[in-house]
Amino acid sequence: MEEQSKVGTEAKHLRLEAGNEETQVQSPLPPLDPELDSLIDLVLSEVDDAFAESVWLGDADPLHSTADPSTDSKRPVSGGGSELLHKDIGTLGIAYQLPAQPSKRKERKKDGGVKSPLSADSPDSRTQHRSPVEKGTLHRGPVPHAARLTPKALDALIEGMATASGDPAVDTFPRSSRASPATPLLPSALTVSTESESTEQSASVPQLPTDANVIAHFGWLGNVYTGVPDSVLKTHPFYRYPKTQPAPGTAPFDVHRAATFVNFRIQVSNALAVCREIMGKPDLSRQDFQQLIFHAERLCGYAVKKMPVAFARPKAVEAIETLGVVFLVVDTLHCVAEILGELSMKHVWWPKILRHIEEAGFAPRRDFLVPGMYFRNAEIACTLDAALEYYRQGHRPPVRMVVGLKEALLCEPRDRSKFSGTRWNPWREDAAQWRQSIVPSLTGSE
């Protein structure tokens, strides 16, 4: 009994000593160094809000950046403070900034800070001098009207919808470093750049083939309607679109509605078929414009997230299946934007599509470059890769490339191809009718 009592007494002493050690650790810290104390006083005296993120974070990313939801979901909870910070996010969700990652295709322009793409008439373009943290703070209040929506606000809108859908493991917008923060890849009329920036950009952007010399770079295109001039080839239903201007009062492209489609898998061939049918008309009515805009919004939502851009094996036949759909979708949206003009809101959603297709491409393997079907697949896949580069620079590929690729995808017999299905028959019928229609004109010209 005495031994047990002695053991219990020693255990109590050990607990008391441990408690004393904790007390010593939690003792008050020594006073700050006078110089450090004066520096803090100086900083606080020069700012309006001492608790603003921009005061303490400098050029770091925002505290609640959603650049990678998959990694954010794994972060440990740090207590109740994080819950309070998430309570006032607002209807747009959290705005993020593009991480400064080096591009795999083109070296990114080095910059002191990371900026979001801006439209030419965007209010954010007047605040480019602000720090990245100030521009990456949380959005609050009602959703802005589509006419005033900026790419950064669309980022936040779609990010919030993707989070609400319960799919945090999927990155809503794969970040691209192809578009320089200071000079986003927008249509030439909407590009925001200074004279020096445009000079530097023109020096770094590769010069792509034009209508005049595209055959010299892609020899197989010389067999696409040999002898048919480009002026006639531009009437091909795979290339042409109506020049009708939208009637006054036509509702613009609804970016918010397009954002609701980012988490839905659509039957892309059906949406493309509707757009093909409408754009095949010589003139468009108000109802045609409404239907065209609606299905373009569906394609846009699909193209910024759900559209596959990678393939499992580096084979040309798989590249054709994947890049072929990307090409058809992007070309359709490019044409719709040309038809709608300013009503297309292209400066808002086009950069998002470019980010998603950043890594879409194909590099042929040497053992495939032999005569036969393998070589045919490789040259089509390589041309698809080149065609996407035109859209990344804000242009449409040469007419012979567009028509040649679409006929190769849709009109050439190809076993076990998604493009051989009956749903693509209307496209093939359009091409066949056009071939019959140009025969008399070609015969007369001879």
- Of the candidates 259, 252, 358, 350, the one whose C-alpha atom is nearest the C-alpha of residue 301 is 259
pLDDT tens profile 254-297: 999 999 999 887 899 999 999 999 999 999 999 999 999 999 99
Residue 355 lies in a domain: yes
Residue 91 lies in a domain: no
Number of domains in the chain: 1
Residue 33 lies in a domain: no
**Between 192 and 1, where is the model more confident?**
1
Residue 399 lies in a domain: yes
- Mention every residue, 6+ apart, whose C-beta is less than 8 A from residue 99: 61, 67, 114, 175
> What is the DSSP code (8-state) at residue 26?
T
- Mention every residue, 6+ apart, whose C-beta is less than 8 A from residue 346: 186, 187, 190, 253, 337
Instruction: With cut-offs at 50, 70 and 90, classify the pLDDT of residue 349.
Output: very high
| Residues 70, 168 contacting (CB under 8 angstroms) | yes
If you average pLDDT over every residue of the chain, what do you get? 69
pLDDT tens profile 111-153: 433 333 323 343 333 333 333 333 333 333 333 344 445 555 5
pLDDT tens profile 391-425: 999 999 999 999 999 999 999 988 889 999 999 99
Residue 240 lies in a domain: yes
pLDDT tens profile 213-251: 999 999 999 999 999 999 999 999 999 999 988 988 899
- Mention every residue, 6+ apart, whose C-beta is less than 8 A from residue 417: 320, 321
pLDDT tens profile 315-339: 899 999 999 999 999 999 999 999 9
- CA–CA distance, 241 with 276 (Å, rounded to integer): 9
The token pair that represents 263 in the structure block: 């988490």
- CA–CA distance, 302 with 361 (Å, rounded to integer): 19
CB atoms within 10 A of CB 436: 8
Residue percentage of the chain with pLDDT more than 90: 44
In three-state secondary structure terms, 206 is coil
Instruction: Tell me the residue range of the domain where 395 lies.
Output: 207-445
| Residues 94, 160 contacting (CB under 8 angstroms) | yes
Provide the pLDDT for residue 357: 96
- CA–CA distance, 139 with 88 (Å, rounded to integer): 9
Residue 63 lies in a domain: no
- CA–CA distance, 340 with 251 (Å, rounded to integer): 10
In three-state secondary structure terms, 131 is coil
Q: Which of 24-28, 268-272, 308-312 is modeled with the greatest confidence?
A: 268-272
**What is the number of alpha carbons within 13 Å of residue 379 lying toward its C-beta?**
17
Instruction: With cut-offs at 50, 70 and 90, classify the pLDDT of residue 29.
Output: low
CA dist 113 → 61, 138, 381 (Å): 10, 18, 37
Tokens 């819950």 belong to residue: 83
Is 129 exposed, middle or buried (CB count within 10 Å of its CB: 0-12, 13-18, 19+)?
exposed
**Between 40 and 339, where is the model more confident?**
339
User: Is the pTM for the entire model greater than 0.85?
Assistant: no
Residue 183 lies in a domain: no
- CA–CA distance, 343 with 346 (Å, rounded to integer): 8
Residue 201 lies in a domain: no
Residue 139 has phi, psi (to 5 degrees) of -85, 140
Is it the case that residue 104 has pLDDT exceeding 50? no
- CA–CA distance, 316 with 320 (Å, rounded to integer): 6
